[in-house]
Amino acid sequence: MFLINCPFCGEREQSEFKAGGEAHIVRPKQPTELSDDEWAEYLFMRKNIKGIQFERWNHVHGCRKWFNIVRDTSNDQIKAVYKMGEKPPVKQND
């Protein structure tokens, strides 16, 4: 359990939020053109990083807005919080 600094409401308990998984997975522009391998990559394959991970969260029991956080998954420390559409304030490896 940890605290998350919602960019709209301020610091709240993690239990108020819903994790939305890995961030910056771009929805295919031409879904009809995609091969089965590309669909699998988009739908199912995940980085599942041990370390610094970029992810989406939703403040479901608050403002209900989506935003991004950068979190170290090995110890749950949050490195940065940023709004949807903004550039990540920390550089993404790979």
In the complex, which residues of this chain contact other proteins (CB under 8 A)? 1, 13-15, 18-19, 21-22, 36-37, 39-41, 43-50, 53, 55, 71, 73-76
Q: Can you tell me whether residue 81 is helix, strand or coil? A: strand
How far apart are the C-alpha atoms of 90 and 87, rounded to whole Å? 9
When the beta carbons of 5 and 73 are compared against other proteins, the nearer one is: 73
When the beta carbons of 26 and 43 are compared against other proteins, the nearer one is: 43
Q: How far is the CB of 77 from other proteins (least distance, A)?
A: 10
Q: How far is the CB of 81 from other proteins (least distance, A)?
A: 14
Q: How far is the CB of 33 from other proteins (least distance, A)?
A: 16
How far apart are the C-alpha atoms of 24 and 55, rounded to whole Å? 8
When the beta carbons of 8 and 39 are compared against other proteins, the nearer one is: 39
Strands 3-6 vs 10-13: parallel, antiparallel or unpaired: antiparallel
